[in-house]
């Protein structure tokens, strides 16, 4: 069955891989892409998103999301994505993609209301746009088919000792989403850090032909260099795991429990907290991915994008 998705991204090197996987998948139909502030400011993430969509031939419209978190001051990711937020690929001037005039949050609301139970939201940045859509139109939480998001951690943080970047960059938004009652699937660091790209794999992808593969390799070379320079090992495939889940949820191990976010503005700000286990409701939290499946889907997507 075709899955109709809206991606909300802060492109970002691994966000770009999420876009590649979605664009190249036979079972995913991209309804729209919203760029949000996160890894870098909105101006940069929007530009990066438009460029990536153009190169991949994504026909779906691209929208600007929010430039500022709900409450906290703006924070950007450290040194993983480079100065532009997407260092590595060089883009030609765009011929097709340009930002739509409608606001990203309004696009999310309108699309979900017009297609009840049909649209999967895939946020791979801070949750500002999703929280605002829920605040402006409370029916969004019930009418969205599912939200499959990258964010949070129960094994310690990657930006502070306790907090993962997407949760830390807008904790209040994350709390709204986690308590919304929507059908939620969460990819925390617990799961994503188990899926990394090795240098052998990257060398293999360099032999692939086509725009998708060139973009993938240009992004992943920078990502790899930045991880290695910081002594962080091999680069983590955080964001594309959400897309892989939409392609085939059976390839993941998950547990269902409540999740809340630390909103006290101290050293725990943005930490995701594991609440009680539940049979229904709460959040379906990924803790393990079938990595062979993930890379097989990447291969297929890159071949389709040739
Ligand atoms: C998340 O932070 C961003 O830098 C990545 O794109 C990913 O969405 C990982 O913590
Ligand atoms: Ca991201």
The Cα 7–Cα 119 span in angstroms is: 10
Q: What CA–CA distance (Å, rounded) separates 36 from 223?
A: 20
The residue whose CB lies within 8 Å of the most ligand 1 atoms, and thus the one to mutate among 9, 36, 39, is 39
For ligand 1, atom 2: residue with the closest CA:
165
| Four-residue CA torsion sign, 126, 128, 129, 130 | positive
Terminus-to-terminus CA distance in the chain, angstroms?
23
Show the tokens assigned to 113: 């209301």
Q: Which atom of ligand 1 is nearest to the CA of 13?
A: 6
Enumerate residues 6+ apart whose C-beta is below 8 A from 225.
none
Which residue out of 16, 40, 166 has the highest number of ligand 1 atoms within 8 Å of its CB and is therefore the one to mutate?
A: 166
For the chain, list the domains and their CATH numbers: 3-304 (3.90.245.10)
Question: Closest Cα to atom 10, ligand 1: which residue?
Answer: 165
Catalytic, 8? Answer: no
For 118, how many CA atoms within 13 A lie in the half-sphere containing its CB?
14
Q: How far apart are CA 244 and CA 259, in angstroms?
A: 22
Which candidate in 10, 14, 87, 239 is catalytic? 10
Beta-sheet strands, E only, within the chain: 3-9, 28-35, 62-64, 119-123, 146-150, 184-187, 252-261, 272-277, 283-289
3-state helix, strand, coil in the chain (%, to 5): 40, 20, 40
| Cα separation values, 262 from 126, 169, 240, 274, Å | 15, 12, 26, 11
Series of mean pLDDT values for 10-residue runs along the chain (306 residues): 97 98 98 98 98 98 98 91 95 97 99 98 98 98 99 98 98 98 98 98 97 98 96 97 98 98 97 97 98 98 96
Cα(135)–Cα(141) distance, rounded to whole angstroms? 10
Residue with tokens 């609440």: 275
Separation of CA 40 and ligand 1 centre (Å): 11
Q: Which residue matches tokens 């801070």?
A: 126
Instruction: From residue 261, give the alpha-carbon distance in Å to each of 152, 163, 170.
Output: 9, 10, 10
Task: Output the ligand 1 site: residues, CB below 6 A.
Answer: 12, 14-15, 39, 77, 80, 124-125, 150, 158, 164-166, 238-239
Dist. CA 28 → ligand 2 center (Å): 19
> How many Cα atoms within 13 Å fall on the side-chain side of residue 39?
29
Atom of ligand 1 nearest to the CA of 124: 8
Residue 220 and residue 293: Cα distance in Å, rounded?
19
* C-alpha–C-alpha distance, residues 290 and 89, integer Å: 29
Ligand 1 atom with the smallest distance to the CA of 158 is 10
Distance 48 CA to ligand 1 centre (A): 15
In this prediction the pTM is 0.98
Which atom of ligand 1 lies closest to the CA of 12? 6
Cα–Cα dist 6/33, whole Å: 6
Q: How far is the CA of 166 from the centre of ligand 2 (A)?
A: 7
Q: How far is the CA of 9 from the centre of ligand 2 (A)?
A: 6
The pLDDT tens digits of the residues spanning 176-203 come to 999 999 999 999 999 999 999 999 999 9
Tell me what pLDDT residue 306 has.
Answer: 87
């Amino acid at each position: 069955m075709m899955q109709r998705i809206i991606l909300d991204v802060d492109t970002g090197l691994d966000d770009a891989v999420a876009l590649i996987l979605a664009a190249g998948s036979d079972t995913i139909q991209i309804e729209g892409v919203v760029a949000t502030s996160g890894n870098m400011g909105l101006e940069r993430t929007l530009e990066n998103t438009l460029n990536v969509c153009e190169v991949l031939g994504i026909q779906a419209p691209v929208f600007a999301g929010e430039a500022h978190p709900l409450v906290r001051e703006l924070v950007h990711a450290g040194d993983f994505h480079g100065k532009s937020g997407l260092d590595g690929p060089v883009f030609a001037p765009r011929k097709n993609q340009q930002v739509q005039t409608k606001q990203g949050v309004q696009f999310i609301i309108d699309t979900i209301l017009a297609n009840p139970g049909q649209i999967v939201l895939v946020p791979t940045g801070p949750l500002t746009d999703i929280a605002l859509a829920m605040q402006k139109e409370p029916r969004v939480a019930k009418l969205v088919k599912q939200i499959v998001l990258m964010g949070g951690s129960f094994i310690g943080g990657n930006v502070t000792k306790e907090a993962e970047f997407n949760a830390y960059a807008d904790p209040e938004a994350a709390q709204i989403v986690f308590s919304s009652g929507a059908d939620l699937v969460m990819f925390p660091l617990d799961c994503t850090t188990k899926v990394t790209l090795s240098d052998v794999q990257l060398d293999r992808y360099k032999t692939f032909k086509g725009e998708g593969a060139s973009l993938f390799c240009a992004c992943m070379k920078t990502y790899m260099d930045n991880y290695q320079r910081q002594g962080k090992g091999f680069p983590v495939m955080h964001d594309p795991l959400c897309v892989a889940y939409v392609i085939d949820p059976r390839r993941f191990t998950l547990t269902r429990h409540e999740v809340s976010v630390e909103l006290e503005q101290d050293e725990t700000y943005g930490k995701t907290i594991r609440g009680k286990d539940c049979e229904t409701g709460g959040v379906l939290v990924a803790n393990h991915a079938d990595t062979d499946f993930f890379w097989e889907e990447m291969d297929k997507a890159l071949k389709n994008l040739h």
